[in-house]
């Protein structure tokens, strides 16, 4: 063993350059794939630390609308307790509602998220209690539980247990006694909080605690040991009939349908394990499982490229070692000895690369987190699974990369080898196959990057039907005073030349810094037909602010007193559902409980939601209540930053002390496509790494081949071949597999990307010129890589190369 290590060490040192190429290439690949695997592992580890995890579910409601089921996680206050009380296999429940964002102790105030829960919360979930009441810290309404970090920053060295803190809950300050300190929710917990208090402390609770129609929070339940999800879901059907019977007549009228069990709507259970992955009714920053598989695949592909480099370099270099192996065999080395020696070298290379790769990954974690909006922690490396994964990868890669050269060496015939330096017989085909394969991957990644980025840009800049630039949207903190805020802001900004208009809306355009989205749609009967429309509520100057030109009629205006009662602006497709003629002036009832709506304007159809959804009929009502969720400000400026500052200052006077969450609508729209942006980033990096690794391999091989052909090159030169001719001859050999790779990767990329694009109704078409760019890029990079060695060899003095033998 010691002997082998010494031999391996000396051989690696002797071939410094190749060792460097091998180690560097593998280290880059390891660093990349470790980061990818870590982040995938973290995502898959979400919510797995709860001991009762497999018995915990999130309750959600479904209703089978005409265009597919509508799912919702929000429940009413009485739902949680009833689920437990009704004896349907549910033994524990907790409602989880946002309470507030601040806490005070003496003079110190801290921002944290207070989550309102029920006492079962700490019995269901495995958040460890570190200090204080370990049995039932939320036994009464006057208690609060603090997470360790927040307790430490609030109390310093003081013992928090038993102390009274001021907690902001639903906008008012409440005095609560700290009953326990709990460990911080880990990063891989969907449920995050800084403090826990009881559901009942919410200001609205007493008034609506028995209201089944007022829904605002998710409910988690734990099933009895002997119960299954299916049986509880079956029992939930009668639960729904008892407590929240759907209005089937109305649902039918609105196009809802019964499912296989005959339900138009109802409740179901989402396993806790799926909460992190469900885009509709999950919790926290959800991810798509297929995205995670893409990450794993990318990591593996990068490793494979590095392995191919290793194989190619080892085989290329074999001619310097065959004689040694022959001698060793001659002196009694068996196949196992030879195999261990050659494979051992691969193993040592991989090991060194792994160490460097892990170190690099650790250093890169902050940038990775920033780039991919991730929350990786270095401590993940100490996780036992990762502790097993890394040696596993090490072994796999060293076997995958080292076995072929090792096996080839053991098969060498001693007699032939001893005659002189011969290389392993690969006749270039094997080598070129590997090179071609690497470049196929690189080319596919290049075209993928191009297409995804272009699709992202395409979505981002898609004409939505209104002008998205120079518009600021501000989430309102106290929505009940929304319209008053808008009025004040309009007044205060009126004299500013940079401000065009101020309006408001019931939900945001795009995704703002508050990350909330909203959609409201309904069906109603009109003259015997079912009319379907999406709804939005807005304020005066809406069309002016969005720069929408009406086809007919006008914008909402305070000049018309009647507007504040029943004015509505509809899109053309909505108008067409009502009449073939002029819609302005028409009136309709959307809901028997509401006032008759009066159409004041018709506008062209536009995209109210992201480009993932088609244009649908939209009706915009002038909001008659005082509440409003968003302020919209249209600006006209060459200095957006200064204007934003102006708007921010104005807002600060309206809602003092509240965080300004305003943003440009163009930013908001980009957030719709955050996933595509993330993908395009991922692929551009993967493509970069693949290209760099492939070129490192190619460079290494060109080095070896040129070394092997030095004599031939010398002879050719002596016989009169020109430098350019020789350089071209050598380069040509290398470019063949690259060309082949380009030819294969074109249809391959086209197939993959075309399939990917099918998911978008608004999409780019893949132009042939993209592949021309891709091919040119690959070819030029490859050419630059090999021509260096080729030219160097062609320029070399033939006398020298002919003498050395």
Partner 1 sequence: MINITNLQKFYRTEEVETIALNNLSFGIKEGEFVAIMGPSGCGKSTLLNILGLLDDPDDGSYLFNGIEVAKFNERKRSDLRKHNIGFVFQSFNLIDELTVFENVELPLIYTKVGAAERKRRVEEVLDKMQIMHRRNHFPQQLSGGQQQRVAVARAVVNNPKLILADEPTGNLDSSNGNDVMQLLTDLNEQGTTIIMVTHSEHDARYTHRIIRMLDGQAVTENILV
Shortest spacing between CB 21 and partner 1, in angstroms: 19
Judged by beta carbon, residue 390 or residue 418, the one nearer partner 1 is: 418
Integer angstrom CA distances of residue 556 from 336, 385, 538, 601: 86, 61, 9, 8
Cβ-count burial 603-631 (b if 16+ within 10 Å, e if not)? bebebbbbbeeebbbbbbbbbeeebbbbb
Count of residues that bind partner 1 according to CB under 8 A: 21
Beta partners for residue 534, in sequence order: 521, 618
Instruction: Indicate the Cα dihedral angle 234, 238, 244, 248, nearest 10°.
Output: 90
Q: Is 552 helix (H, G, I), strand (E, B) or coil?
A: strand
Interface stretch with partner 1, choices 10-18, 508-516, 527-535, 617-625 (CB under 8 A): 10-18
Ranges assigned E (strand) in 170-260: 172-182, 195-198, 215-217, 219-223
Integer angstrom CA distances of residue 478 from 207, 215, 484: 19, 19, 10
Interface stretch with partner 1, choices 74-82, 329-337, 372-380, 542-550 (CB under 8 A): 329-337
Rounded to the nearest 10 degrees, the angle between the axes of helix 289-317 and helix 429-460 is 150
Q: 124: which residues sit within 8 A by CB, 6+ positions away? A: 50, 52, 56, 92, 94, 220, 222
Shortest spacing between CB 309 and partner 1, in angstroms: 23
Distance CA 530, CA 114 (A): 44
Judged by beta carbon, residue 68 or residue 332, the one nearer partner 1 is: 332
Q: Is 394 helix (H, G, I), strand (E, B) or coil?
A: helix
Shortest spacing between CB 348 and partner 1, in angstroms: 14
Please pick, from the candidates 5, 10, 280, 518, the single residue that binds partner 1 as defined by CB under 8 A. Answer: 10
Please pick, from the candidates 97, 202, 328, 678, the single residue that binds partner 1 as defined by CB under 8 A. Answer: 328
Interface stretch with partner 1, choices 123-131, 328-336, 461-469, 796-804 (CB under 8 A): 328-336
Shortest spacing between CB 412 and partner 1, in angstroms: 12
Please pick, from the candidates 66, 327, 718, 799, the single residue that binds partner 1 as defined by CB under 8 A. Answer: 327
Please pick, from the candidates 281, 333, 486, 622, the single residue that binds partner 1 as defined by CB under 8 A. Answer: 333
- Among positions 208-247, residues that touch partner 1 (CB under 8 A) are none
SS3 assignment for 711-764: HHHHHHHHCCCCHHHHHHHHHHHHHHHHHHHHHHHHHHHHHHHHHHHCCCCCCC
Shortest spacing between CB 188 and partner 1, in angstroms: 49
Cβ-count burial 350-385 (b if 16+ within 10 Å, e if not)? bbbbbebbbebbeebbeebeeebebebbeebbeeee
Shortest spacing between CB 801 and partner 1, in angstroms: 20
Shortest spacing between CB 411 and partner 1, in angstroms: 11
Distance CA 155, CA 397 (A): 50
Judged by beta carbon, residue 6 or residue 128, the one nearer partner 1 is: 6
Judged by beta carbon, residue 278 or residue 318, the one nearer partner 1 is: 318
**Is 797 exposed, middle or buried, given 0-12, 13-18 or 19+ CB atoms closer than 10 A?**
exposed
Among 474, 325, 462, smallest CA distance to 405 is for 325
Interface stretch with partner 1, choices 213-221, 322-330, 449-457, 510-518 (CB under 8 A): 322-330
Helix (H) or strand (E) holding 21: helix 16-44
Interface stretch with partner 1, choices 321-329, 521-529, 539-547, 769-777 (CB under 8 A): 321-329
- Within 13 A of 392's CA, how many CA atoms are on the CB side? 8
Among 621, 671, 658, 664, smallest CA distance to 645 is for 664
Judged by beta carbon, residue 1 or residue 641, the one nearer partner 1 is: 1
Judged by beta carbon, residue 50 or residue 329, the one nearer partner 1 is: 329
Judged by beta carbon, residue 71 or residue 418, the one nearer partner 1 is: 418
Shortest spacing between CB 7 and partner 1, in angstroms: 6
- Among positions 391-450, residues that touch partner 1 (CB under 8 A) are 414-415, 418
Shortest spacing between CB 414 and partner 1, in angstroms: 5
> Per CB under 8 A, does 329 bind partner 1?
yes
Please pick, from the candidates 14, 128, 252, 732, the single residue that binds partner 1 as defined by CB under 8 A. Answer: 14
Interface stretch with partner 1, choices 4-12, 219-227, 298-306, 659-667 (CB under 8 A): 4-12
Please pick, from the candidates 332, 384, 581, 720, the single residue that binds partner 1 as defined by CB under 8 A. Answer: 332
CB 538 within 8 A of CB 547: no
Interface stretch with partner 1, choices 16-24, 133-141, 319-327, 466-474 (CB under 8 A): 319-327
Judged by beta carbon, residue 249 or residue 332, the one nearer partner 1 is: 332
Please pick, from the candidates 136, 192, 337, 566, the single residue that binds partner 1 as defined by CB under 8 A. Answer: 337
Distance CA 655, CA 475 (A): 11
Parallel, antiparallel or unpaired: strands 143-147 and 164-169: unpaired
Please pick, from the candidates 86, 200, 324, 605, the single residue that binds partner 1 as defined by CB under 8 A. Answer: 324
Judged by beta carbon, residue 111 or residue 416, the one nearer partner 1 is: 416
Shortest spacing between CB 338 and partner 1, in angstroms: 11
Please pick, from the candidates 260, 331, 561, 719, the single residue that binds partner 1 as defined by CB under 8 A. Answer: 331
- DSSP-derived secondary structure for 694-715: HHHHHHHHHHHHHHHTHHHHHH
Judged by beta carbon, residue 11 or residue 184, the one nearer partner 1 is: 11
Judged by beta carbon, residue 329 or residue 532, the one nearer partner 1 is: 329
Judged by beta carbon, residue 250 or residue 330, the one nearer partner 1 is: 330
The backbone torsions φ and ψ at residue 694, rounded to the nearest 5 degrees and listed phi first, read -60, -40
Integer angstrom CA distances of residue 655 from 628, 641, 648, 663, 719: 14, 21, 10, 16, 87
Judged by beta carbon, residue 20 or residue 773, the one nearer partner 1 is: 20
Interface stretch with partner 1, choices 3-11, 507-515, 596-604, 702-710 (CB under 8 A): 3-11
**Is 784 exposed, middle or buried, given 0-12, 13-18 or 19+ CB atoms closer than 10 A?**
exposed
Please pick, from the candidates 66, 85, 330, 494, the single residue that binds partner 1 as defined by CB under 8 A. Answer: 330
Distance CA 70, CA 523 (A): 14
Judged by beta carbon, residue 10 or residue 106, the one nearer partner 1 is: 10
Shortest spacing between CB 409 and partner 1, in angstroms: 14
CB 635 within 8 A of CB 472: yes
Q: 452: which residues sit within 8 A by CB, 6+ positions away? A: 676, 679, 680, 683, 756
Shortest spacing between CB 324 and partner 1, in angstroms: 5
Query: Which ranges of 175-228 does DSSP label H, i.e. alpha helix?
Result: 205-208
Shortest spacing between CB 8 and partner 1, in angstroms: 9
Shortest spacing between CB 797 and partner 1, in angstroms: 23
Helix (H) or strand (E) holding 578: helix 572-578
Interface stretch with partner 1, choices 109-117, 325-333, 356-364, 535-543 (CB under 8 A): 325-333
Distance CA 360, CA 357 (A): 5
Q: Is 215 helix (H, G, I), strand (E, B) or coil?
A: strand
Please pick, from the candidates 245, 334, 518, 585, the single residue that binds partner 1 as defined by CB under 8 A. Answer: 334
Interface stretch with partner 1, choices 9-17, 212-220, 222-230, 584-592 (CB under 8 A): 9-17
Judged by beta carbon, residue 11 or residue 787, the one nearer partner 1 is: 11
Interface stretch with partner 1, choices 332-340, 479-487, 623-631, 638-646 (CB under 8 A): 332-340
Distance CA 95, CA 283 (A): 13
Residues engaged in binding partner 1 (CB under 8 A)? 3, 6-7, 10-11, 14, 323-324, 326-334, 337, 414-415, 418
């Amino acid at each position: 063993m010691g002997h082998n290590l010494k031999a391996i060490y000396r051989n690696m040192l002797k071939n410094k350059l190749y060792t460097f190429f091998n180690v560097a290439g593998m280290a880059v690949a390891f660093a990349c794939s470790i980061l990818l695997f870590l982040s995938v592992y973290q995502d898959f580890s979400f919510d797995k630390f709860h001991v009762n995890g497999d018995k915990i579910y999130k309750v959600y409601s479904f209703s089978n609308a005409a265009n597919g089921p509508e799912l919702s996680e929000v429940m009413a206050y009485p739902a949680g307790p009833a689920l437990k009380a009704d004896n349907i296999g549910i033994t524990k429940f907790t409602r989880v509602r946002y309470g507030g964002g601040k806490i005070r102790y003496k003079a110190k105030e801290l921002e944290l998220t207070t989550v309102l829960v029920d006492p079962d919360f700490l019995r269901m979930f495995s958040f460890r209690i570190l200090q204080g009441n370990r049995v039932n810290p939320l036994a009464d309404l006057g208690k609060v539980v603090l997470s360790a970090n927040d307790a430490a920053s609030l109390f310093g060295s003081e013992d928090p247990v038993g102390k009274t803190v001021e907690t902001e809950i639903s906008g008012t300050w409440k005095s609560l006694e700290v009953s326990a300190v709990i460990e911080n929710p880990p990063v891989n917990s969907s449920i995050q909080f800084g403090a826990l208090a009881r559901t009942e402390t919410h200001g609205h609770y007493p008034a609506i605690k028995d209201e089944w129609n007022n829904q605002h929070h998710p409910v988690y339940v734990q099933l009895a040991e002997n119960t299954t999800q299916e049986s509880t879901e079956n029992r939930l059907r009668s639960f729904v009939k008892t407590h929240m019977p759907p209005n089937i007549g109305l649902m039918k009228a609105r196009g809802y349908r019964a499912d296989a069990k005959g339900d138009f709507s109802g409740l179901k259970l989402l396993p806790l394990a799926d909460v992190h992955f469900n885009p509709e009714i999950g919790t926290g920053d959800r991810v798509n499982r297929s995205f995670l598989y893409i990450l794993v695949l990318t990591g593996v592909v990068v490793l494979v490229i590095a392995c191919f480099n290793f194989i190619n370099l080892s085989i290329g270099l074999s001619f310097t070692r065959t004689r040694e192996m022959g001698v060793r065999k001659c002196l009694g080395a068996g196949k196992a000895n030879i195999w261990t020696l050659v494979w051992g070298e691969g193993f040592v290379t991989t090991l060194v690369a792994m160490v460097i790769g892990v170190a690099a990954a650790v250093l890169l974690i902050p940038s990775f987190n920033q780039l991919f909006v991730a929350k990786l922690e270095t401590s993940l490396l100490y996780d036992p699974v990762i502790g097993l994964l890394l040696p596993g990868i090490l072994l796999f890669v060293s076997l995958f990369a080292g076995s072929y050269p090792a096996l080839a060496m053991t098969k060498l015939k001693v007699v032939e080898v001893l005659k002189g330096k011969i290389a392993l017989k690969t006749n270039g085909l094997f080598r070129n196959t590997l090179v071609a394969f690497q470049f196929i991957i690189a080319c596919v990644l290049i075209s993928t990057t191009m297409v995804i980025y272009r699709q992202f840009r395409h979505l981002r800049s898609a004409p939505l039907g209104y002008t998205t630039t120079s518009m600021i949207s501000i989430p309102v903190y106290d929505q009940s005073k929304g319209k008053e805020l808008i009025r004040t802001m309009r007044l205060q900004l009126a004299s500013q030349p940079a401000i065009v208009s101020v309006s408001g809306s019931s939900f945001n355009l795009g995704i703002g810094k508050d990350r909330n989205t909203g959609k409201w749609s309904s069906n109603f009967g009109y003259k015997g037909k079912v009319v379907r429309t999406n709804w939005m509520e807005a304020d005066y100057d809406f069309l002016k602010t969005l720069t929408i030109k009406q086809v007919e009629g006008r914008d909402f205006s305070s000049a018309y007193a009647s507007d504040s009662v029943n004015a509505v602006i509809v899109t053309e497709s909505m108008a067409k559902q009502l009449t073939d003629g002029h819609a302005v002036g028409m009136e309709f009832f959307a809901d028997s409980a509401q006032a008759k709506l009066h159409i004041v304007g018709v506008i062209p159809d536009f995209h109210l939601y992201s480009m993932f959804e088609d244009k649908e009929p939209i009706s915009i009502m002038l909001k008659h209540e005082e509440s409003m969720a968003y302020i919209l400000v249209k600006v006209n400026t060459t200095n957006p930053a200064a204007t934003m500052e102006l708007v921010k200052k104005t807002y600060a006077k309206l809602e003092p002390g509240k965080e300004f969450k305003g943003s440009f609508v163009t930013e908001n729209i980009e957030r719709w496509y955050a996933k595509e942006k993330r993908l395009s980033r991922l692929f551009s990096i993967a493509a970069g790494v693949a290209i760099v690794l492939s070129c490192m391999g190619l460079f290494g091989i060109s080095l070896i081949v040129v070394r092997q052909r030095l004599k031939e090159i010398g002879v050719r030169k002596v016989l009169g071949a020109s430098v350019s001719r020789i350089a071209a001859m050598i380069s040509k050999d290398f470019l063949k597999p690259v060309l082949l790779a380009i030819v294969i990767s074109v249809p391959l990329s086209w197939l993959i990307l075309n399939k990917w694009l099918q998911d978008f109704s608004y999409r780019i078409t893949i132009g042939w010129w993209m592949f021309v760019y891709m091919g040119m890029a690959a070819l030029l990079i490859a050419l630059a890589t090999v021509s260096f060695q080729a030219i160097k060899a062609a320029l070399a003095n033939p006398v020298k190369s002919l003498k050395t033998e």
